Amino acid sequence: MGRGERRSVSFSPSGYGSRSVRSRARVSPMTLPNAASKIIIQGMTGREGSRMARWMIASGANIVAGVTPGKGGQEVESRPIFDSVKEAPAADVSCIVVPSAHALSAVKEALSAGIRFIHVLTENVPLHDAVEMRRRAKEKQATLFGPASVGYLRFPDVRIGYLGGEHPFSGKIKEGDIALISTSGGMTNELMAALSRSGLGIRLAIAIGGGQVVGTNLTEAIAIAKADPEVKRIGVFAEPGQPLLRELRRGWHPSSATGGPFVVMLPGTALDLLPRGLPYGHTGTILGEDEPTVRATREEIRKQGIACAATVPEFVSMVKQTYA
């Protein structure tokens, strides 16, 4: 594939409520990464970047190169390193593992090179930089997961980032028809493991990142899952403060977007006892001054006819009931 023939991998659904969910790209919304997608890692020579390369290669990812300014000519995991994305081989996907001060520049560079699926692992990205990342990605009709995203996984053979551990397709995570979408990478892995132990299988998993602003929000990720014909039910882990929770409380029923069973896990009852308006854990986990308690939010969501769990065992039980 020549540099002028980059394959689009974007899926850019619109937002909440009654607005239609559609792809603005010229290609099918399901042109997300597949086993043949060519991947580069920006920041691959660093400790985190080299580990990501090792894990992704072990799970079958087609890593073609790494990019680190000033390190061109080196190799990591037998893959060549280039000084810039422009100099690197044409790629479909970029994983960004760079210091937070350089994350926005890395996203801009990937977009300028024509890459339309970007995963940003980097945490603690300044808020204004995250806003600009999202704006630029939408402008280019690109899919952006992160900042602070552990990644994207789709059975049987696609893993971007760290989701699923070092060997996600070894059998520990069961393959099935569930899409799992989460603000927390750790909880994405925990819920995949818990569902698998209960005999329930995963088709798709997306960790969107836990910041106040991310490239793909929960509602947009739900639309991605809905577009997958092999996804039959959707589970969402949403921390307090997520806009999706307000939409659910106000009557937006997810069945209108998912077309199938939908279960939410809303943790954080302890936040009801703590001061309002402060981030706890992820920067996007904020219980606002005018927000109901976490416990009351769950009850309001349940009154809309939506299954809403407080704990992992309760979430697994509710998902299992969708098969009854």
pLDDT digits (tens, 9 = 90+) for 234-275: 999 998 878 888 888 887 766 555 557 999 999 877 665 556
pLDDT higher than threshold 80 for residue 192:
yes
Q: What is the mean pLDDT of residues 161-170?
A: 92
How far apart, in whole angstroms, are the C-alpha atoms of residue 259 and residue 278?
Answer: 35
pLDDT digits (tens, 9 = 90+) for 11-46: 333 332 333 333 333 333 436 899 999 999 999 999
How much is the pLDDT for 244?
A: 87
Q: Last residue of some domain: 126, 148, 170?
A: 148
Q: What is the mean pLDDT of residues 60-81?
A: 97
Is 117 in the same domain as 94?
Answer: yes
Q: Last residue of some domain: 88, 122, 148?
A: 148
| Full domain range(s) for residue 100 | 1-148
Is 214 in the same domain as 162?
Answer: yes
Is 169 in the same domain as 111?
Answer: no
Q: What is the mean pLDDT of residues 143-157?
A: 95
pTM recorded for the entire structure: 0.85
Question: What DSSP state is assigned to residue 47?
Answer: H
Is 138 in the same domain as 165?
Answer: no
Residue 262 · residue 254 · CB < 8 Å: yes
Counting the structural domains of the chain, the total is: 2
187: which residues sit within 8 A by CB, 6+ positions away?
Answer: 237
Q: Last residue of some domain: 122, 148, 174?
A: 148
Known catalytic membership, residue 282: yes
25: which residues sit within 8 A by CB, 6+ positions away?
Answer: 8, 10, 11, 12, 31, 116, 141
Q: What is the amino acid identity at position 66?
A: G
pLDDT higher than threshold 60 for residue 47:
yes
Is 306 in the same domain as 159?
Answer: yes
What CATH number is given to the structural domain containing 191? 3.40.50.261
Is 137 in the same domain as 211?
Answer: no
How far apart, in whole angstroms, are the C-alpha atoms of residue 313 and residue 307?
Answer: 13
Among 102, 119, 128, 282, the active-site one is: 282
Is 197 in the same domain as 91?
Answer: no
Is 155 in the same domain as 38?
Answer: no
